[in-house]
Structure formats: structure tokens, C-alpha cells
Amino acid sequence: MSAFTRTSDIDRPTVLTIRSLQTQLDLMTHACTRSFAVECLTMLIAAFVILGVAVLLGSGLAVLHLQTKRSTPPWSLAALHGLFAVGGLSCLALALRGPPRGLEYGVASFGIIAASLITLAALIGVALLATRIFKTRIAGIMIGIHATLAVGGFVILAAYVLLG
């Protein structure tokens, strides 16, 4: 048995994969690609900050919903929460177009996972908005599911930003 492998013994897809990775690394060192990577990193940090504000506003909304006996918290706070959430999700979607991040720490897929969870939270948020438009009190379980998805997505995004 030899410790070395002949090139003819390596299957063709492996060689093509290694070559394609090398080509991607060569492209990432190009000046235009580096500036695109910096723009994507800036967009990712902006998404993290904007979604952080949305999480804080959502926490405030949840506390107001649980404390007050009246039907709903103020419209302005809910609208601001929704606008920040949509803006942060848009920034995150734009940031995920960039070069892969976090491969060395195993968090490369965290961006997609965070975007998926936050998107599901946004869809439930639309259902909460519809409930509010019909002037009925929002069920606590819906707020809990919405908050769980949103905070889970935000925590995964935090790991992606900090470790990637």
C-alpha cells in the first residue's frame, strides 16, 4: 500500500470539485470580488442591527399585550416593528448573495436558516396584522410562535455574523 494516490485513481468529480474551489478562491482575491464581499458584509451587519431593533420593538409589543387589558398595543409601535422587520429581512436577503462565510466554523448555512425562520415569523406577523385589522384580540399562542421563530432566527443570525 502506498501513502500517495495517483491522479488516475482519483475519481473525476473530486478533481473537478477541487479545481472549482480553487477557481472560486482565485476569484475571491480579485479586487472587484473583494469590494463586493465588503459590501455584503456591510449589508449583513446592517441586517443584524435592523433586526435587533425589530426584536426589541417586538419585545415591547409583547409586554404591552400581556400587561394591558385593552384590546391592542399602539398601532405606531406595531407598524414600526413590522417596517424594521421587513427592512432587516430585505438587507439579509441581499447580504446572502455574497461569497460564502463561516465555512471554517461550520456556520455557512446559518444565514439561510436565519432568513427562513425570520421569513416564517414575518408570515405569521402578517396573520397577526390581519387579526388586528378585524379588531379581534390576538391569541397569545400566535404571539408566542411568532416570537419563537423571530428570536430563533435572530440568534442563528447572530452566530452567523459573529462566527462567519
Span 56-66, average pLDDT: 89
Return the CATH number at 154.
1.20.120
Asked if the structure places residue 112 within a domain, the reply is: yes
- Lowest model confidence (mean pLDDT) among 27-36, 43-52, 135-144: 27-36
Task: Look at residue 92 and tell me if it is in a domain.
Answer: yes
Domain membership flag for residue 46: yes
Amino acid identity for residue 3 in this structure: A
- The distance of Cα 127 from the centroid of its chain, to the nearest Å, equals 20
Residue 121 covered by a domain: yes
What's the confidence (pLDDT) of residue 106? 87
Give the total number of structural domains in the chain. Answer: 1
24 in any annotated domain: no
Q: Is residue 29 part of a domain?
A: no
In a domain, residue 8? The reply is: no
Domain region containing 128: 39-163
Q: For the chain, what is the mean pLDDT?
A: 81
Write down the pLDDT at residue 54: 96
Q: Is the dihedral of CA 28, 31, 36, 40 positive or negative?
A: positive
- Flag whether 86 is in a domain: yes
pTM of the model: 0.76
**For 74-84, b where at least 16 C-beta lie within 10 A, e where not — what string?**
eeeebebbbeb
Task: Write out pLDDT tens, residues 84-100.
Answer: 999 999 999 999 987 78
Which one has a higher pLDDT value, 29 or 130? Answer: 130
Q: Give the amino acid at 102.
A: G
